[in-house]
Amino acid sequence: MSSQWEIPKPEPTKNEETTPFWEGTAAGELRFQECEECGNRQLPAAPACVACLSPKVVWRASAGRGTVFSYTVIHHAFHPAFAAEVPYVVADVELDEGPILVSGIRPVDPAAVSIGMAVEVWFEPMADNPEYVLHWFRPAGGES
Amino acid sequence: MGTLRPPRAVIAGVGHTSFGKHPGTSAWRLQVDAFRAALEDCGLQASDVDGLFTESQFSEPLLMHGSLLGRQLGLRPDVLSTQSQGGATCMSLCQTAAEMIDRGMCKVAAVVYGDNAKTGMPNIYGLAQMGRGQADFVAHGLLGGPAMEALSAMRYKHTYGVTDEMFGSVAVAFREHAVATSHAQYRDPLSMEAYLASRYIAEPLRLYDCTIASDGGACIILTAPEVAADLARPAVRVLGMGQAHNLDGLRDRDHYTHFAGARASKTAYAMAGLGPDDIDVAQFYDCFTSTVLITLEDYGFAPKGEGGAFALEGNLRIDGGRLPSNTDGGMLSCGNVTGWGQVIEATKQLRGDQGPRQVQGAATAICSGHGGFQANHATMILAVA
Ligand SMILES: [Zn+2]
């Protein structure tokens, strides 16, 4: 039974759609897809534009700034790998360019987080697998 | 959409196992036990069942689940359907079954689910159920149903000024109903003080805002009116059905505070020829208290943003409420069989013999099924035949 629970921290996946995103974070760049037909900007990555179905979607770099659209402070560790991190903040961040993406806000006092708060991206390789560099956000104007 | 009319189909039998901890009992055993209980409820035999409608257990997500279950039930059905729409699956399956009965493709349909979610699975929703590359948020720790729904609840709270007591009034009312329900999993009374003192799971959701986990199975038997006429228990009519699915996520920024339930219920109301004022009792998909408040609004029982005030005024209580809801305690207190409980309790209320928790004179009921974290929704309106 215990072995079932000794599972590593969940990793993102690289596939035909998502690989450019993770190549971007490894290069210190937060990327989103933009449709060359209709201009729609989207995340998560999809095989085509979800607004017009055009396959002509290209990757663009975000300036890495946005606001908190919604968030939660997670107190209960649903995965054993996060037990040492609770309470922690997960947020839907609305990029200035438009798309919303899931990320975490850290370092931050969870009580200081609010909807509409300005945030900026930073990057950190996953401890368990440095092949993946995760995007995190912190309050805008913080130390780098 | 074409002209809407109710299907010629009724609910003839309902059955479920006890809810709680059944360590060592397989999901299959719970499904078989529930199937047997529903047949005993209506007096039909397994050999009468010519339609099988299923959802795979979450503890062991399976392709072709209906075929595997059908073998264990010894069935040779004419029609078979396995669906996967999260908490909307039960009502979607019931709708498919009712339609096939109406068309004459089958006469007796069993809609079956069971899982040992309490003792048989790690509580890590969001990993197995979503395809590779579509669940990358798990890396940031967005894991577990409460965490995913909390993003909706926080936005809803922020947008409409919903208070903690408004969320709490749902949990307290449903627990009051569970106290009067002999088969409910949690029957200790819950006060608002105890609710407010309970620990956060994922803010703004506290322990008592979240569905319980249950080992349990449930089954609903639908049939044609002429078959039901010969049975011992009164049949309940399927009067309205509707679905809607917001699969485009946050491209519409309103989707965290306006669920697909508005569209689903509109279809169901139109099919039934009824409106919110005509509904006597409701069984909401209460995975979280916030989900109940938003659905109240989407279904037209309160204006958008005012579901919390509606609940806080006591309107969900059997005792004097305008819309007695989740009269067995729901998934917050009675048992969690992902949407089956809503249809089963609505059927029981319309039979009119539920003792201390009976809503007097209940002639119409509405049920909601909500799944996929703000994506999927199904509605059923039931009525005394
Ligand atoms: Zn496009």
CA B8, CA B104: separation in Å to the nearest integer? 10
For A49-65, the pLDDT digits (tens) are 999 999 999 999 999 99
For A9-48, the pLDDT digits (tens) are 788 888 899 999 999 999 999 999 999 999 999 999 999 9
Rounded distance from Cα A109 to ligand 1 centre (Å): 39
How far does the CA of residue A52 sit from the closest CA of chain B (Å)?
Answer: 13
CA B74, CA B70: separation in Å to the nearest integer? 6
Q: Which residues contact B47 (CB under 8 A, 6 or more apart)?
A: none
The complex's ipTM works out to 0.94
CA B62, CA B56: separation in Å to the nearest integer? 6
The pLDDT of residue B58: 86
Tell me the average pLDDT of chain A: 91
| Cβ-contact B296, B308 below 8 angstroms | no
Tokens at residue A71, please? 């968030």
The pLDDT of residue B60: 84
Are B251 and A126 an interchain contact pair (Cβ–Cβ within 8 Å)? no
Quick check: B310 pLDDT over 90? yes
Over range B328-349, report the average pLDDT: 97
Quick check: B354 pLDDT over 50? yes
Tell me the average pLDDT of chain B: 94
- Which residues on chain B are in Cβ contact (under 8 Å) with A50? 248, 251
Domain boundaries, chain B: 10-121+214-236, 133-212+237-384
User: Is B133-212+237-384 in the same CATH topology as B10-121+214-236?
Assistant: yes
**Which of B130, B154, B247 has the most A C-beta neighbours within 10 Å, making it the best mutation to test the interface with A?**
B154
Structural domains for chain A:
19-139 (2.40.50.840)
| Cβ-contact B125, B144 below 8 angstroms | yes
Are A90 and B140 an interchain contact pair (Cβ–Cβ within 8 Å)? yes
Q: Using 50, 70 and 90 to split pLDDT, how confident is the model at B132?
A: very low
Are B140 and A136 an interchain contact pair (Cβ–Cβ within 8 Å)? yes
Could you tell me the end-to-end alpha-carbon distance of chain B, in angstroms, rounded to an integer?
Answer: 27
DSSP code per residue over B235-292: PEEEEEEEEEE-TTGGGSGGGGTS-THHHHHHHHHHHHT--GGG--EEE---SBHHHH
For A76-114, the pLDDT digits (tens) are 988 888 889 999 999 999 999 999 999 999 999 999 999
CA A87, CA A101: separation in Å to the nearest integer? 21
How far does the CA of residue B212 sit from the closest CA of chain A (Å)?
Answer: 14
pTM for this predicted structure: 0.96
B130 touches chain A (CB under 8 A): no
**Nearest Cβ partner for A72 among B122, B127, B150:** B150
* Strands (E) located in chain B: 10-16, 51-54, 79-82, 108-116, 200-202, 205-206, 215-223, 236-245, 281-283, 364-371, 376-384
- Which residues on chain A are in Cβ contact (under 8 Å) with B139? 9-12, 126, 132, 134
The pLDDT of residue B128: 44
DSSP A120: E
Q: How far is CA B34 from CA A114, B113, B228, B265, in A?
A: 46, 8, 20, 28
Residue B257: closest CA among chain A residues belongs to which residue? A70
B230 touches chain A (CB under 8 A): no
Q: Which numeric CATH code is attached to B133-212+237-384?
A: 3.40.47.10
Element counts in chain B: helices (H) and strands (E): 12, 11
Task: Name the strand (E) or helix (H) holding A77.
Answer: none
Rounded distance from Cα A49 to ligand 1 centre (Å): 5
Are A90 and B154 an interchain contact pair (Cβ–Cβ within 8 Å)? no
Q: Using 50, 70 and 90 to split pLDDT, how confident is the model at B47?
A: very high
For A64-73, the pLDDT digits (tens) are 999 999 999 9
How far does the CA of residue B233 sit from the closest CA of chain A (Å)?
Answer: 43
Fold of B10-121+214-236: Peroxisomal Thiolase; Chain A, domain 1 (3.40.47)
Tokens at residue B349, please? 């209320």
Rounded distance from Cα A18 to ligand 1 centre (Å): 18
The pLDDT of residue B378: 98
User: What is the helix, strand, coil percentage profile of chain B, to 5?
Assistant: 40, 20, 40
Task: Name the strand (E) or helix (H) holding A72.
Answer: strand A65-74
Q: Which residues contact B254 (CB under 8 A, 6 or more apart)?
A: none
Are B122 and A90 an interchain contact pair (Cβ–Cβ within 8 Å)? no
Over range B132-144, report the average pLDDT: 74
Token pair 């909500």 is found at B370
The pLDDT of residue B232: 87
- Which residues on chain A are in Cβ contact (under 8 Å) with B154? 70-72, 115
